[in-house]
Chain A
């Protein structure tokens, strides 16, 4: 598999007031191959999953998840954070082989 990042969808407000709690929703298109399925020839299909997801806001981790084969394909997460200063929110998904998909959004404080 190539190093091409997986498509993602991120839903969060572009602007917010300081002190507000905002909801962030994320999804990455990923098979989350469990490693328990077999192909047509009876061979086990190797496990290929997103193992770690991390969200940083102004370089501080606001949410992280360790994910295993029991997480559905196209892992979806909804979580929240408290608005501080304006700045970047960076989303990083890392698979078992260490390949990363990184996305950044900017949150502007009004």
Chain B
């Protein structure tokens, strides 16, 4: 199976070869305050370890729903719901969406709070290829819970036109 064209393009390029590369990189870093020390190179295990920072990740409480078969990797509907009372003292702080076969492992972080009412977020994501997507929920008490879903992608998000 041919690798999607985008999968590993960036690491092989020198920053100088990218138009305005240095500027863009600096801006990228400044826009990621929570992950300032983390260089996302597409390694999901490293990304999850960085988020966990030594804490235990328990499977459960996170319901991640993606289509089992995604015909177009450019637009994959995502729904994530976390079991939580969502009260002032017990709520979901952050939901991380991680995909290890994408050029960047971290797709998005959703920040919630007691004012959210429900810990449910829906969005659309890109998937470079067939893979397992992980949703990691960080609770107000610091515990981490995870849910996963495998998606078969027939058209990569990395082909031109997307």
- A interface, CB within 8 angstroms of B: 21-22, 34-37, 43-44, 46-47, 51-52, 57, 60-82, 84, 94, 96-98
Contacts and interface: CB of A to CB of B under 8 A. Distances in A.
B146 interface: no
A30 to B, nearest CB: 12
A interface: dominant SS? strand
Nearest to A83: B117
B24 interface: yes
Given A47-B28, A66-B34, A78 B121 contact: yes
B63 interface: no
B18 A72 contact: no
**Interface size class of chain B, counting residues whose CB lies under 8 Å from the partner chain:** 35 or more
B76 A44 contact: no
A74 B127 CA distance: 15
14 contacts: A34-B6, A35-B24, A64-B111, A66-B34, A69-B104, A70-B97, A70-B127, A71-B125, A72-B76, A72-B123, A78-B123, A80-B116, A82-B116, A96-B28
A80 B120 contact: yes
Nearest to B25: A47
Chain B CB count within 10 A is highest, among A63, A70, A72, A74, for A70
Contacts of A74: 124
B70 to A, nearest CB: 11
Given A52-B31, A64-B111, A73 B99 contact: no
List the 10 closest pairs (A to B, CB-CB), nearest first: A70-B107, A36-B6, A21-B117, A78-B122, A72-B124, A64-B111, A82-B117, A51-B31, A66-B109, A80-B118
Nearest to A25: B122
Contact of B123 (A34, A37, A71, A96): A71
Contacts of B134: none
